[in-house]
Structures are given as structure tokens and as C-alpha cells.
A and B are shown apart, each in its own frame.
Chain A
């Protein structure tokens, strides 16, 4: 990101004319090519691709830029060179026949040579000059001039002559590539960098974990900005390509177009419309959770829309994927035949990370797909134990795909024991949409769950869905989420049935209880009625009691009068008639 931004088409800086190499990527990191009219030193170890770089520089010059070239080889004969590059599709003989290319093989056997007095290497100049004039060369490659150190005994003369040669090349105003063998402490074994100081390119070929990786670095470029990183380099059937990875930035255009996921209810979970076009989707899950199926659904949907899809299979052979996916209703073979689907299957450990990246680049550029599936990215960690490197590689890949507006689905295997939310290669932050698949084992069976862990820029469901694979395809269904537990599969069905029964049961229970209560209520009312009756009865009784008492008093008074009358009947005969109390009082006072 800190690197200077530049457009796809390398800009030419004023005052520093550049000579495009035509080698993919190299012109980007050198911002236009090699310094025109000046020599460039290309150094590297054995097998790092020096000769190829030099040869491609010449051939692209002839074919793509109309600049005839001269190739002077010290190690291979013209026939060998012709044969070697024929496999890359370069026809040297034809170009030589057209007088646009001149190839010379310089061979000196030390044993054949006797030194007697002073000499110079004018013969070399003569030969170069004659070739340059023969084809009107603008470009010259000399590979590897250091071979002379082994054949010529007098190093002092050789060094003086090399100095003269590079100056001469500059004077001739040809753009030259000179290769040199990597030295132990110096860039080249014999210190050629001392003479060629305008531009130095370093090629590296190292082996880590038994996997070879080629890299290219612009060690020096006088008077020009250039990418300073080590760039992964690939040699394949089309020649050399260099990956200007860090030239990619975050300035890609984003659209709001949505594309279906291939699974209806998943679309619904993603705001009803599916993924964003050009986004990256991560599908994680442990073994057998259906990651490949989700990825395939995406590929199938793309092909149905008539878009091309590129499927990188790092784990299974394409035929196996086709067969397996046929079992869940995807006819991938049909899409392959129609040319809409292409599989790129390669064992991830076959070559290094960068090599993978480069090959992915190339495949994408060749096929121009709208969608890409990488299944799985976790296998890439098998290449290097270093997660950081894998992450960096994936970041570049994602940047690259986004730049092209390609929708990409990456699957990632999570180990059983790990927390599933922990993305294996730590790339979840790079992803726009993250689908998590999980196995749930319960009641003697295993079922799949799917949920959307995140999906940038869209309303997405927070619900867990059960993910069903059947010969009719993929289906999502609601999971059972009652009673504080999540159930799937037959347990879900069972639980649902149980729930129904339980609900009926509940209903019955409630009805019964209601009846009970009603009964009790009736009972209470009855009791209440009884008590009221009793109250009334008591009141009646009290009333009766009072009147009885009155009656008794009257009777008693009457009795007294009767008694008094019976005892005396003298004096106050009439007195008791007035009232017995008064009468009694009067009677007791005395």
C-alpha cells in the first residue's frame, strides 16, 4: 500500500526512456521496462531463468515491439537454444530467417588456447557488431559472458575488455541484457555489477519444504522508481511471468449487483438476493460439512446464467468432483462440455505458494471467468507451515480477483477440535461473506448446519439453518430451536412430534384443571350459600330466643301475682295489676 500507485499501463517517466521487455509483470515493476540504450545485468543462480529472461527480452522485442535483436550465447549453441525455446512457442529459426534475429554461439576451450603476449577481445566486438548491423538490432542479449573468465587466462585483460564492452554497447545505443552467475558475496560471481550499473535484476530460485520457488527482484535501477520487493516468478509453457503483486491495491471498483448463491434459501438469508458480484466468500467447516457442495452450487448457478466459472481443485480430481456433485443433482459435466466451467486441478504441494498464485493469475487471465472457486485454501498451508505467508498469498489473490470484478468462493477446512469460528488461515477478515458449516452430532446421527457468520454490506439472517444434501440438490430448512436447544435431522422431527404431543397434553391438562377449579368454585359457592342459610337460621333463633324470654318474664310475673294472691290476698289487692316490678320493689323495701 505504501508503494507508489500506478495504472495498469505502466507510465513512462520523462527523461528516462524505457524499453519494454514484453515479459508479463516485469514491465510493471520496472514502470515500463529496462533502461533504453543501456545495459542491464540479470543475475541469479543456476536454473533461475536468466537465459529465458534474456531470450524473451529479445523475442518479445522482435515480435511485439518491432525491434530486431541479437543473442550471443556462451553456454548453449544456437541449436540448443532453438530447441529449448521451441517448447515455449518461440521459433528462432523463422526469426533468423526473417533477418530479425541473429544468434551467435561463442565457445572457447581453454585447453585449445595458448596465450602469447598482448591481445584484446576485439573479435567479440567484431562479432557483436556484425550481428547488430546484419539485423539492425536495437536489443542485445549476452548470456553468460562470465563464461569467459573460465576460458581466458588473463583476468586483467578480460576485465578491461568487459568495461570497454559495456561502454561500447551504450555507445551503440542498444538496450542490452547481460546475464551473470550469482556470486557468494557479490551479485555475480565475477563482479559484473561493477561494469553494469544502470539496472540490476536479481533472480532467485530457492527451495523450501522441497518446493521450489522462483523470485525476481530489481536490485537497482538508476534514475527510475521501481518495485523493490521480491516478486514471485513462474516459468511455464508460455515462458516467464512475474507477478507484480503489491502493485495491487484496494482501489478496485465495487458494484452493487447481486448474484444468486445457487441455494434459494441461502439467497434469502443473504438479504434475499445472494452474494455481491465481485465479493469474496469464505465457506468454512470441518470435514464432510458440505463445503464443496456450497461452492459447486455457486459454480452451477454461474454457469446457468451463462457466465464462466473457474474451479481450482486442490484436493480432489475434477472427475471425482463431477461425479460426486452429480449425486446431489449438479450436472457439472454439461457445463464443462459447454466451456462454461473449467477445472484447474493441481496438488497444492506440487509447487510453491507464489507459483500457485502466478498459475491462478494465468488461468484467470486465460479463461476470463466471472466466478472462481478455490477448494480448499487450507491445503495451501501444507506447502509452508507459515500461516502468515499463506495469508499474504491469499490477500494478493483476493486483491487480484477483486480487481477483476470476479466473485470468488473459497472453502476452508477447519479441524474438528478447533473453534469453528476461528478461520483456519486467518483470512476471514479479508472476506466479505463468511458461511459457516457445522456438523451436529446427536441422537446417533450427524447433521449439517449452515449459518451466515458475516456478510458485509447486506442485511443477513442471524438464523441457523439445517443444510440438507439430497439427490434433488441442496436445501436449507429451519432447525428446531425450542426448549433452549437446537435440534436437527430426525431428532428435529422427533422433537417436533413430541412437541405436538406435549402441546396436546398441555391443552388437556389445562382443561382438566379448569374443570377442577370450576368445580371448586361451585363447591365454595355452595358452602357460601350454606353459611348464609345458617346465618339466617341463627338470626331466627336469636329472635325466637328473645321472644321466649319475654314470654317467660310475663309468665313469671303472672305466676308471682298468682302466688301472692294465693298467699295473702290482703291489703293491696289491686297493686300487682300495676306491674310486678314496682310491686316487688315496694314489696322488698320494707
Chain B
């Protein structure tokens, strides 16, 4: 619980530093898809757009195609596709869907308060 509180505070700090564009924080994002479906394409486009708007210069996106690496689905407990996993900063967050609802994506990424 207290760790959670700490991380939330860290995030709050992070947001302030975000405004100050501190390069110390990097966002590691993973997008799981299964093949180049239209939904996967939409999700990736949406994600890029959001990242450019809110996390310009400090994010990395890794797209994992489960059709090629099916075993990777286990590690992050992927069921729904597409799934966006925020590996860093911690804690890990999961956002499912094609990321068309920008507000909810921002909430899910802790870029907006819940």
C-alpha cells in the first residue's frame, strides 16, 4: 500500500518534471498484437499519436506480434488483443483495446488522474 502511495507521489512528481521535460524519465511501452490486423494498425497509430502529444522524446514502443512469438503472451498475461503494457515507469499497467478512447488511455497510463 505504502509503496503504491510512494509511486503515485513519484508519478505526481514525474508529471511536474514532465512539464519541465526532464530527460531522466523514460517510458517503455509494449503493444501486443496478433498479425497486422486493421485493429492492430489502428491501435499502433493511436498509441503513436498519444505518445507524441504527451510523452514526446522519452518513450519507446515495442510491438510484439504474438503470431510470431506466441510464448511471449504468457509473460505479460496477455489475453485480449491488442493490449498495451506500460513496462516503465512502474507499476505495470495494461490497457486493452484499439486505444481509440484517448481519455481512457491517458487515465490508464496514469497521465490523467482517475
Smallest CB separation, A172 vs chain B (Å): 14
Contact check: which of B32, B67, B79, B108 meets A121 at CB < 8 Å? B79
Let me know if B105 and A126 touch, CB within 8 A: no
Most A-side CB within 10 Å, residue of B66, B98, B100, B105:
B66
In whole Å, how far is B68's beta carbon from the nearest beta carbon of chain A?
Answer: 10
Q: Report the minimal beta-carbon distance from A226 to chain B, rounded to whole angstroms.
A: 34
A119-B70 contact, Cβ under 8 Å, with A106-B77, A124-B79: no
Whether the Cβ atoms of A123 and B34 lie closer than 8 Å is: yes
- Residue B74 interfacial (CB < 8 Å): yes
Closest approach, in angstroms, between the C-beta of B16 and any C-beta of chain A? 23
**Nearest-neighbor residue (CB-CB) of B100 within chain A:** A117
A483 is an interface residue with CB less than 8 A from chain B? no
Whole-angstrom distance from the CB of A144 to the nearest CB of chain B? 14
Give B contacts to A, CB under 8 Å. Answer: 32, 34, 39, 42-43, 46, 66-67, 70-71, 73-74, 77-83, 92-101, 104-105, 107-108
- If the complex has contacts A104-B74, A115-B104, are A123 and B98 also in contact, measured as CB distance less than 8 A? no
B73 in complex: contacting residue of A107, A113, A127, CB < 8 Å? A127
When distances are taken between beta carbons in the complex, the residues of chain A under 8 Å from B82 are 119
Contacts of B95 in A (CB 8 A): 113-116
The answer to whether A119 touches B94, judged by C-beta atoms less than 8 angstroms apart, is: no
Structural contact, A112 and B81, CB atoms closer than 8 A: no
Q: What is the chain B residue whose CB lies nearest that of A107?
A: B77
A120 at the interface (CB under 8 A from B): yes
Does A130 count as interface, using CB distance less than 8 angstroms? Answer: yes
A385 to chain B, nearest CB (A): 50
Question: Min CB distance, B80 to chain A, in Å?
Answer: 4
> Which residues of chain A are near B93, meaning CB under 8 Å?
112, 114
Q: Which residues of A contact B98 (CB under 8 A)?
A: 116-119
A171 to B108, CA, bound (A): 36
Contacts known (A114-B108, A119-B39); A127 close to B74, Cβ less than 8 A: yes
Cβ of A442 under 8 Å from chain B: no
A359 at the interface (CB under 8 A from B): no
- CB-CB under 8 A from A112, the residues of chain B are 92-94
For the complex, give the distance between the alpha carbons of A108 and B83 in Å.
Answer: 12
**A114/B104 in contact, CB under 8 A:** yes
Query: Are B94 and A115 neighbours in the complex by a CB distance under 8 Å?
Result: no
* A116 and B74 contacting across the interface, CB-CB below 8 Å: no
A121 touches B81 (CB 8 A): yes
Closest 9 pairs (CB-CB, A-B) = A114-B108, A130-B70, A117-B97, A117-B100, A117-B98, A123-B78, A116-B97, A122-B81, A116-B101
Measured between alpha carbons, how far is A118 from B96 in the docked complex, in Å?
8
A122→B99 CA distance, assembly (Å): 16
Whether the Cβ atoms of A114 and B79 lie closer than 8 Å is no
Check if A114 sits within 8 Å of B66, measured CB to CB: no
Which residues of A (172-191) have their CB < 8 Å from a CB of B?
none
Tell me whether A95 is interfacial, beta carbon within 8 Å. Answer: no
Which interface residue of A112, A123, A125 has the most chain B CB atoms within 10 A? A123
Partner of B79, one of A106, A115, A118, A130: A106
Residue A82 is within 8 A (CB to CB) of chain B in the complex: no
In the complex, the chain A residue whose C-beta lies closest to that of B102 is A116
Indicate if A81 sits at the interface (CB-CB under 8 A): no
A130, closest chain B residue (CB): B70
Cβ–Cβ < 8 Å partners of B83 in chain A? 119, 123
User: Are B96 and A119 touching (Cβ within 8 A)?
Assistant: yes
Query: Could you tell me the distance between the alpha carbons of A180 and B12 in the complex, rounded to whole angstroms?
Result: 43
Instruction: Say whether A119 contacts B97, CB under 8 Å.
Output: yes
State A323–B97 Cα separation when bound (angstroms): 74
| A-B contacts, 8 listed (Cβ < 8 Å) | A104-B74, A108-B79, A114-B95, A117-B43, A123-B81, A126-B34, A127-B70, A127-B79
Any B CB within 8 A of the CB of A240: no
- Whether the pair A123, B32 counts as a contact (CB closer than 8 A) is yes
Q: How far is the CB of A164 from chain B (nearest CB, A)?
A: 13
Query: Given A112-B93, A127-B74, is A120 in contact with B100 using a C-beta cutoff of 8 Å?
Result: no
**A461 on the interface (CB 8 Å rule)?**
no
Given contacts A114-B104, A116-B100, 7 further A-B contacts (CB under 8 A): A114-B107, A119-B82, A119-B97, A121-B80, A123-B80, A123-B81, A125-B34
Cβ of A148 to closest chain B Cβ, rounded Å = 8
Q: Is A152 positioned at the interface, with any CB of B under 8 Å from its CB?
A: yes
**B94–A113 contact, CB under 8 A?**
yes
Nearest CB in chain B: distance from A395 CB, A: 50
Closest chain B residue to A112, Cβ basis: B94
Cβ of A129 < 8 Å from any Cβ of B? yes
Which residues from A are CB-within-8-Å of B101? 116-117
User: How far apart are the CA atoms of A106 and B79 in the complex, in Å?
Assistant: 8
* Bound-state Cα–Cα, A287 to B73, Å: 69
Among A107, A114, A129, A148, the residue within 8 A (CB) of B96 is A114
Contacts of B77 in A (CB 8 A): 106-108
Distance from A102 Cβ to chain B, minimum over Cβ atoms (Å): 10
- Taking CB atoms, residues of chain A closer than 8 Å to B73 are 123, 126-127, 130
Task: Return chain A residues, CB-CB under 8 Å to B79.
Answer: 106, 108, 121, 123-124, 127, 148, 152
Chain A 140-155 interface mask (CB, 8 Å, partner B; 1/0): 0000000010001000
